Structure 1
Amino acid sequence: MTATASLVASPDAALLSDIRQRWKQGRAELLDHFAQHPLQVTPLLHGLTRLADHTLQALWAATSMPAEAALMAVGGYGRGEQFPHSDIDLLLLLPRAQGSDRALDAAAEGFITACWDSGLEIGASVRTIEACIDEAAKDITVQTALLESRFLCGHRALAEAMQAKFIQHLDARVFFQAKMREQQQRHIKFEDTPYALEPNCKESPGGLRDLQVVLWVAQASGLGRSWKELAASGVIHANTVRQIQRNETVIKRIRAHLHMLAGRREDRLVFDQQSAVAKVLGFAPTPSKRAGELLMQRYYWAAKAVEQINQIVLLDIEGRLWPQSVAKAQPIVDIDGVEDGRYVLRDGMIEPADLQLFQHQPWTLLEIFAVYQRAAGARGLSPAALRAIYLARPRMDSAFRHDPRSRAQFVRILQAPGGIVHALRLMNRTSVLGRYLWAFRRIVGQMQHDLFHVYTVDQHILMVVRNMRRFFMPEHAHEYPLCSELAAHFDPPWVLILAALFHDIAKGRGGDHSDLGAVEVRKFCKAHGIDAANTELAVFLVREHLQMSRVAQKEDLSDPEVISAFAQRVGDERHLVALYLLTVADIRGTSPKVWNAWKGKLLENLYRATLRALGGQTPQPQAELQLRQREAQRILNLYALPEGAQKPLWDTLDMGYFLRNDPQDIAWHTRKLYARVASASPVVSARLAPEGEGLEVLVYAPDRPDLFARICGYFDSQNFNILDAKIHTANNGWALDSFVVVSPHTKLHDRGMIGVIETSLLQELGSTGPLPAPHHGRLSRRVRNFPVNPRVGLRPDERGQRWILSVTAHDRAGLLFGIAQVLARHHIDLQLAKITTLGERVEDTFLVSGPGLGDARIQNIIEGELLQAIAD
């Protein structure tokens, strides 16, 4: 025994064993009860807290701690909310500084050791009163922990003296400012949204931490320690307490079950756990939604309400802490259609002059947002206005939605010259948008587990509205010049905003959401007095909002019949422009990863080709061929090629080649190949992709059955993703193929890769050995939890001359290579490849031909092998 240990009597081993056993048994009983009654989270948290209290008190006595020391609970444990695998945060309060009393130090060390030996996972600090005050002054985290301190056992007077001295030194204003900075940094860390795909139910915006911040700041300001005390202080309304507690309980349940399922502290609601938590909490799948999606929607609703309460209460407390900074209210006047003085502006924030306005005239719940759009100097709504809106939620009923004044105000919001996005987003955060548009309420917080949407449906819709508005704003004209040019001449712009607002509003109902959404927007237009022409356009856009993307990415745009059919579907230039703008805004609002310059080019090509068809220019392939050849020749003249240098190459190429390639590409191919037509050696050339990121790779080589598969195998081995492939066989038996590829591991424009590809791919083309096995990368957690049902379709085109192969699967390394191998085995010629990657899902389309495709038996074999290749 060491000299230090001999200063303290050893605790009785049998007694410690008994304490450990009681702790273990009591904890197991509480967790087992919660597993059987998964909704009863409050008894669990309080039960674990009481059990820890009793266990620590027993250990304090068993280790014969000096009577002059005190033990205090701090942090979440001090708050009385102990989750299954949260640390037990303790403060061991000593009368004298460590190092000045060996016996006291040894006793503290022995007590902490006994806690760990008994199975308690503690986080302990050992301090004097003076050390507590000093540390709190330097660290806001320590200050917050001490704010929630609770006496457990030992010298009560010492603990109370520490609490009194701490409160004496606590500056409520400094504490408020520090917590606001801390919260802002935390929100930024979690992308400043409660709608993350895998939210942290404690730390994310709208998580439990946001509620705790409110209580900390309120307590530091002397306004109360609980929601009921805040109501008594007038910070929140008494009716609001129940709403807060209900949403708080939802998130606490989820967090507790995450701990249980993981067997450790886990606060992230990751994909792997969403379905498991949903099952435990009794969420049952519906025909249109998974159980996990229903759980996430309930979580998002709760998080949204928490975020709203956090904002309202903190603004109120700020006004109480700095009452002298509250500016004098200035009446808002001279806004068309709004009574002068009905609203006031206070330090840039709008509020009704009569805070009971919304209770007496519910339609003004929409008018205040129309005022927000138009009032000069308005930055938002005041805490008083936000609180009044929150309390007026029961007034947003059927009568409110059918009131002609409400409808007129909503149309005013859509037709405002500016501030539309800000208004709609604020309306969504305050729940006004969903309570007015009942169809919108159904998609608030609805997750889309389709592997390419990264926002909930409501957030995606508002993102599309934002994108659409940017087309009309000069400061954003550089982002998408063609869209801005078209938008500048489109009238009225609010019809496009209306279509954006409704395009996905019927998601999750089952059935075709485009058709259902068209019904919803027609009902809206009828109820709101929209004229027939604009109603028809809005309905068309919602019903057809997926078509332009589908045609551009999956069909052969060089086929005059494809363009003609699409032009007939669109009808006229106005509908075409509107659909093009909505399509670009929609794809951009899906995910940062889904949009790229290549898709933009495909959409623009389809737009321009359709515009020509609508203008009466009947697609004439021969005229288009000559036009492209002349433009390509003009470009070639800039490079001083000899007269007629292009002829040997162009004579080997048919009309299909010229119609599928832009003049710029034709000129590039010609410059690289005009002197090599008679050569026996393959040619590989690469350049930076003219549109967007990645590289464009040209391959000119003798055609053979496995050529496409061998090229795909090379890109697969180098970890390149193929964005596009154009396959053409010249009449001299040589293949002229071009690919657009990107690599996730290189810079967007890495010139160094050009030489590598030109050398190593050329070597691969000389290989005659068997094709290597496809490289299989690891599946992401999203794909593992929300797999794509692989599908293969093989059908003849409208002329019956070629076949259209469509493939849908989750994206992974080696996918295209596996498809190419199957095609090579069956001697199927590939003429066109449309590679469409939507997040982590691919929808690829190939134009193919082959002698066996007309045989049903062979077709079934091919489809079976393709399914196996994409499912591996």
Structure 2
Amino acid sequence: MQQTPESPPDVVAELRNSLKQGQAVLEDAYRNSGNATLLLKGRAHLVDGILCDLWSCLGMPSGLTLVAVGGYGRGELYPASDIDLLLLVPEGFDPVIEPRLETLIGLFWDIGFDVGHSVRSPLQCIEEATRDITVHTALLEARFLTGSHTLFAELGARLAAATDPLKFLKAKQLEQAERYARHNDTPYSLEPNCKESPGGQRDLQIIMWAARACGIGHDWRDLAAHGLVTTEEARQLVRAEEFLRQLRIRLHLLVGRREDRLLFDYQEGIARAFNLSATATRRGAEVLMQRYYRNAKLVTQLNTLVVQNLEAGLMPPQQSEPRIIDEEFQAIGDLLDLRDIELFRHQPAAILRLFLVMQRHHELKGMTARTLRVLWQARLSINAEFRRRPENRALFIQLFQQEHLINGLRRMNQYDILGQYLPAFGRIVGQMQHDLFHVYTVDQHIMQVIRNLRRFAMPDFAHEYPFCTRLMTAFDDHWLLYIAALFHDIAKGRGGDHSKLGKADAGRFCRAHGLSGEQTELVVFLVQNHLTMSAVAQKQDLSDPDVIEAFAAIVKTERHLTALYLLTVADIRGTSPKVWNVWKGKLLEDLYRVTLLRLQGKAPLEMTGLAEKQEEARSLLRYHGLEAEVEKPLWQHLDTAYFLRHDAEEIAWHTRMLYYRPAAAEPVVRARTNTIGEGLQVMVYTPDQPALFARLCGYFAKLGYSIFDAKIHTTRHGFALDSFVLFDPQEHLDHLPYRDMIALIEHDLAELLKNPPPLEAPVRGRLSRQVRHFPVQPQVEIRADERGSRYLMSITASDRPGLLFAVAHTLCRHGIAVQTAKIVTLGERAEDSFLITGEELSQTSTLVRLEQDLLEALQV
């Protein structure tokens, strides 16, 4: 920095040292006391003194003013927060002619401040505030630091005259809606921003900003004094704000810089800072995050309540008369209102009737401010006696029988009515599932599953999943599926098998709420088996009649099968947008259809439809112009297992590519976009060669594709006929769409197989950040099938690029052949199943060595 008489280097060094020492003292005091206010106010006071000293040292003109705005204007500075300043100048003042302004701003940075600043006159401030609600908000918290009091007073007067409280509130509501949209309209993100996400500090600050704009006050006690919140609500706001303050302070101190996101990297460290220990069933980070989510839910509830009360107070009186709905409720505009404010006190059952009314009158968009407040206060009246009353149990069941179900359930969850009525549900509110494929808390996941089921029953969404819609609309009492969805994960986090624990909860609920024996049995069956169909479809060989026979023995009836299929599709789709794909949809539908045939009395061979499948394949060949019996030279080399594992369309495609060269001298590689609408299908036909499966896995891994399904077949004359389904889960190949990769794969893979180089050693792919912090314990299970001729191998591990190649490479070294591979990726978790053969599998010593080598290959 250029030295000037006004900025001697010793002054800068002294102020920098004062800042460093002062912050260290404040942080030490905080670590000893945990007093957030002392730290936040203390840092603001420390910065105040340094800025005023600097202003004085430079001899700034007396007509200028230094003003703190934003969070600094509130007198709160977090350990790594920036400092928002306004350099207020008189009208007509030209900052360019005052070199000391430039010097001052440079010194801010030299001393060590992270400064956001503006230089404006009072009029310019108002003009900018009119255009930008963010500037208007920052000015509401303006605080005088040093300089001209007269100029600061002028700013305050102009701002007060320009502030329209109702207009300001409306603008902040729009801003909040946009902010919510940026954070996917949920407080329950895996890695929420404790400042900006729904339920974060911004939701509390918007209340105080609106209160300031209305001239009501500067803290929660002022709001209580004006009747906007009750004394109890004020206490809740204070506690919620204190938790967020503590969280953000500890986050800044842990990271050592400004960071407001609760990333996986920091969650365990923050949990330790809060002295939160792991439990028998949950990690410390999960305990922390449930506390955060519940606090965020409370903040969103209070934000809605207080902002709506503010709006009601600012809005002009309603000119139209309320529309009477019944003796208890009326509508004011599109909001539901209580006719008697004491209704819930005299008739607690009206709490549930309120939601029933809203479901039946879907034109209602919400509740009036006074109704919200009374409902919020009445929620605690839902106790054991309330739950035992037959009238209330009947009302609760009716809620699930209405068309507009999901909005009602979400409101009931938002305002703690659902958790009060079902204490088991209340325990999983805000409970995160750190399994790397659920992206919602347990309660929000349940809401998503019910939403998905409800959409199956709505003609407007028939285009999404027409088969599910057809099944749902023909299913009697489909509201029973909503009950099953409500309970399917309700026992998460208790320890033990949540399906069995949830089954017991569901059975007690159904019996207590008057469901028939048949209805109760269906709900209990679904809760107990909600994971079964997914496991069978994605991990077992659906061409094996024994697999279908065993699954049919579990479901027993067509009604059970249909209900389980619908719940399974809704459940998988409700875990994460990344988990569901069309391939999983096809597997589930294939399992449904073939099991339905078995339940209808078809024999095993009839059930597979082998003859019909071959005839359909022949028809497809004729459709493509091939003559009759052209398939015979190829098909004579294909055994029954091939026809069982492939559908008619695949058989016809393979035949069209190979019928004229069943003994091709060179590898044949053909690829096409997947007929089910997503991904690629690749066929490889070549004289069998060592390490072929591993080589193919390595090639696809280099391209960045994930293998979702592999069918490995060796013909009677020693040719490998292998089929793969490929996806690009990370979408990093968007610049090369699937169809543009076809020619590349067909050429390069064929060349690779003509003269195969030595098999490369696996390279450990780069792990995602989530996997680094939530690794999956690798597991390998190998067991003989019922005939004892083949072995089923299941692996579980953290997913990473090249994982399947590492497995295939290990199997190759042990001389193990792969017949089928089913690849299941659940977020960052891989659960893959293989049908394998090999001499080492029948000997205990070599089998143990194989398992050990596989576990080593699976390690992250």
2:791 matched residue in structure 1: 803
- Find the aligned partners of 1:669 and 1:301 in 2 and give their Cα distance: 55
2:21 matched residue in structure 1: 25
Deviation at 1:749, TM superposition (A): 5.8
Task: Choose the corresponding residue for 1:723, options 708, 720, 738.
Answer: 708
Deviation at 1:31, TM superposition (A): 0.9
1:843 corresponds to which letter in structure 2?
E
1:408 lines up with 2:394 in the alignment: yes
Task: Choose the corresponding residue for 2:148, options 132, 151, 155.
Answer: 155
Aligned with 1:843: secondary structure?
A: strand
1:253 matched residue in structure 2: 246
TM-score normalised over the length of structure 1:
0.95
1:792 lines up with 2:780 in the alignment: yes
1:317 lines up with 2:313 in the alignment: no
Q: Deviations over 1:336-385 (max 9, x none)?
A: xxxx3201111111121122222333322221101101126322222222
Q: Deviations over 1:600-654 (max 9, x none)?
A: 1111111111111111112126973222111111221212222211111111111
Q: 1:542 to 1:80 in 2, by over 3 A?
A: same
- Find the aligned partners of 2:666 and 2:59 in 1 and give their Cα distance: 90
1:336 matched residue in structure 2: none
- Find the aligned partners of 2:22 and 2:95 in 1 and give their Cα distance: 38
Q: 1:626 to 1:99 in 2, by over 3 A?
A: same
1:783 matched residue in structure 2: 771
2:844 matched residue in structure 1: 856
1:745 lines up with 2:732 in the alignment: yes
1:70 lines up with 2:65 in the alignment: yes
1:760 matched residue in structure 2: 748
Identical-residue share of aligned pairs (%): 50
1:89 lines up with 2:75 in the alignment: no
Where in structure 1 are there 5+ consecutive unaligned residues? 333-339
- Find the aligned partners of 1:462 and 1:693 in 2 and give their Cα distance: 28
Aligned residues: 857
Aligned with 1:620: secondary structure?
A: helix
- Find the aligned partners of 1:742 and 1:771 in 2 and give their Cα distance: 24
- The 8 Å contact of residues 16 and 62 in structure 1, kept in 2 or not, is answered as no
Deviation at 1:126, TM superposition (A): 2.6
2:645 matched residue in structure 1: 660
1:160 corresponds to which letter in structure 2?
A
- Find the aligned partners of 2:459 and 2:131 in 1 and give their Cα distance: 48
Where in structure 2 are there 5+ consecutive unaligned residues? none
- The 8 Å contact of residues 137 and 143 in structure 1, kept in 2 or not, is answered as yes
Aligned with 2:215: secondary structure?
A: coil
- Find the aligned partners of 1:60 and 1:775 in 2 and give their Cα distance: 59
2:391 corresponds to which letter in structure 1?
R
Aligned with 2:738: secondary structure?
A: coil
Deviation at 1:826, TM superposition (A): 1.7
Q: 1:161 to 1:434 in 2, by over 3 A?
A: same
Aligned with 1:693: secondary structure?
A: coil
- Find the aligned partners of 2:362 and 2:844 in 1 and give their Cα distance: 70
1:329 matched residue in structure 2: 322
Aligned with 1:282: secondary structure?
A: coil
Aligned with 1:836: secondary structure?
A: strand
1:484 matched residue in structure 2: 469
- The 8 Å contact of residues 688 and 749 in structure 1, kept in 2 or not, is answered as no
1:543 lines up with 2:528 in the alignment: yes
Please tell me the root mean square deviation across aligned C-alpha atoms, in Å.
2.0
- Find the aligned partners of 1:768 and 1:16 in 2 and give their Cα distance: 69
- Find the aligned partners of 1:294 and 1:544 in 2 and give their Cα distance: 28
- Find the aligned partners of 2:50 and 2:375 in 1 and give their Cα distance: 47
Runs of 4+ with deviation above 6 angstroms: none
- Find the aligned partners of 1:97 and 1:623 in 2 and give their Cα distance: 88
2:806 matched residue in structure 1: 818
1:432 lines up with 2:417 in the alignment: yes
Aligned with 2:841: secondary structure?
A: coil
Deviation at 1:695, TM superposition (A): 0.9
1:141 lines up with 2:134 in the alignment: yes
- The 8 Å contact of residues 716 and 774 in structure 1, kept in 2 or not, is answered as no
Q: 1:646 to 1:856 in 2, by over 3 A?
A: same
1:293 lines up with 2:286 in the alignment: yes
Deviation at 1:183, TM superposition (A): 1.6
Aligned with 2:187: secondary structure?
A: coil
- Find the aligned partners of 1:806 and 1:491 in 2 and give their Cα distance: 38
Q: 1:54 to 1:738 in 2, by over 3 A?
A: same
Deviation at 1:72, TM superposition (A): 2.0
Aligned with 2:681: secondary structure?
A: strand
Q: Deviations over 1:772-809 (max 9, x none)?
A: 23344321111111001111111111111111111111
1:504 matched residue in structure 2: 489
2:829 matched residue in structure 1: 841
- Find the aligned partners of 2:853 and 2:674 in 1 and give their Cα distance: 33
- Find the aligned partners of 2:732 and 2:519 in 1 and give their Cα distance: 47
Q: Deviations over 1:136-170 (max 9, x none)?
A: 22322221111111122333233222212211122
- Find the aligned partners of 1:708 and 1:230 in 2 and give their Cα distance: 69
1:772 matched residue in structure 2: 760
2:373 matched residue in structure 1: 387
Deviation at 1:864, TM superposition (A): 1.2
When structure 1 is superposed on structure 2, of 168-177 and 826-835 the one drifting more is: 168-177
2:587 matched residue in structure 1: 602
- Find the aligned partners of 2:35 and 2:511 in 1 and give their Cα distance: 47
Q: 1:439 to 1:623 in 2, by over 3 A?
A: closer
1:337 matched residue in structure 2: none
Q: 1:12 to 1:604 in 2, by over 3 A?
A: closer
